[in-house]
Amino acid sequence: MIRALPADDRLRIAVLAHLHHPVVPPFAGGMESHTAHLVDGLAARGHDVTLFAKQGSEATCRVEPVLARSYAVDGYPDSDGRDRQHLVLDSAMARAVRRIRGERFDAVLNNSLSPVPHRELAGVPTLHVLHTPVLPRLAEIFGAPGWSPDSAHRHVTVSHANASAWRQWLPEVDVVHNGITLDSWRAGAGPLRGTAAWTGRITPEKGTHLAIAAARATNMKLKIAGPIQDRDYFSALVEPELDADIIYLGHLDQGELGAMIASAQVFISSPLWEEPFGLTTLEAIACGTPVAALPFGAMTEIINRHSGVLATGPDAGSLARAVLGARELDRGKVRASVRSFSLDSMIDAYEGHLRSVVPMPQCTPGRLS
């Protein structure tokens, strides 16, 4: 349970969300889920939190919309489309930054992927959360001749695996593992033998097609859930495989998702990129469902010998062998291994980092005025 703070220990915090999607369930991806839990957790402790996000976002704190919900972001545009899209998103983020500078916040928590806060919050106490591997537009900023981190800024990322790439520019980047509300993900009455689950954004880098191949190779039925964010990929490599054994259930809410995962004998995680964290994997472990995963990114930090099996390579055959090993693990030990990834632990860490950027004395309001 999130513990409340005494009144004189609270901060006024502005949170910048990623603007591709509203922060509203069912979440479009891990970033939206992370932002929702982060702002709700900080608000529950008594902090005065304002979320600057896409219209339609919902939270227990104040929400300030900065981009119309009707603006659709194309995940894979051509170069001209990408430039036009960046202009719209950057303009919206710049509006949010101007509004933040006009109010009396103690600190800013940048939970976006935008370069704008790194350029336009100079001198403002800011904690930047780096959710992805190094993005080209951020690399342009950090790699510019003479660039050095702003003395008012701190940087954290979500895994040690992700930190290793960022330390070329940010040697002092810290790690805060994502956390979840453990009681929201519960073990089921018993798994359906011969069934597997896969959840997440349906895009090439998430490897849904490899999960399907591994399920077929092990004679497992597979239930798939998540938003289709690359329609061409879905149409080419996922949809043709759908049948009585490989079923796509759509974009489920958390209750439906938890029930699906908890009823599976094994959860398949198939990232084909250096996965920065992997919230869906953590949610499966919280349900007591053992995980078979490709060995990329943060998978080695989330999965241990009690909670799952890592494939020895990036191919479907290796993943199938991991499925065979993982599906027989003790589900009680699987669930027990998730305890260090609680939401409360995550909020503790973010509170500490936010306080580290706030000038002394810590409890004087209006430090950004």
Q: Is the pLDDT of residue 365 over 90?
A: no
Q: What is the CATH number of the domain that holds 290?
A: 3.40.50.2000
Closest of 68, 61, 9 to residue 35, by C-alpha:
61
User: Within this chain, do residues 162 and 268 fall inside the same structural domain, yes or no?
Assistant: no
Structurally, the chain folds into a number of domains equal to 2
* Residue pair 291/307 in contact by the 8 Å Cβ criterion: yes
Residue 22 backbone phi and psi in degrees, to 5? -65, 150
4 vs 48, 52, 62, 189, CA distance in Å?
A: 12, 23, 18, 34
Classify residue 362: in a domain, yes or no. no
pLDDT tens by residue, 220-266: 999 999 999 999 999 999 999 999 999 999 999 999 999 999 999 99
CB-facing half-sphere around the CA of 249: CA atoms within 13 A: 17
Query: Once rounded to an integer, what is the mean pLDDT over residues 340-364?
Result: 88
- 208 and 320 share one domain: yes
Residue 85 lies in a domain: yes
130 SS3 class:
strand
Show the domain range for 325: 182-340
Asked whether residue 363 carries a pLDDT value surpassing 60, the answer given is no
C-alpha separations of 350 from 74, 106, 176, 232 in Å: 31, 14, 8, 38
Using only C-alpha atoms, the chain has a radius of gyration, in whole angstroms, of: 21
pLDDT grade for 1, boundaries at 50, 70 and 90: very low
Calculate what percentage of the chain has a pLDDT beyond 70. Answer: 95
CA of residue 72 relative to chain centroid, distance? 20
Domain shared by 298 and 351, yes or no: no
Q: Inform me whether the pLDDT recorded for 369 exceeds 50.
A: no
pLDDT, residue 362, reads: 46
Same domain (yes/no): 31, 175: yes
- Please give the structure tokens belonging to residue 187: 């073990």
- The per-type count for the chain, helices as H runs and strands as E runs, is 13, 13
| Domain assignment of residue 2, yes or no | no
For the chain, percent of residues with pLDDT exceeding 90: 88
CA atoms of 220 and 129, how far apart (whole Å) = 38
Query: Looking at beta carbons, which pairs linking 141-150 to residues 24 or more positions away fall under 8 Å?
Result: 141/115, 142/118, 142/169, 142/170, 143/169, 150/121, 150/122, 150/123, 150/126
Statement: residue 364 has pLDDT above 70: no
How confident is the model over 142-169, as pLDDT tens digits?
999 999 999 999 999 999 999 998 998 8
The answer to whether residues 173 and 217 belong to one domain is no
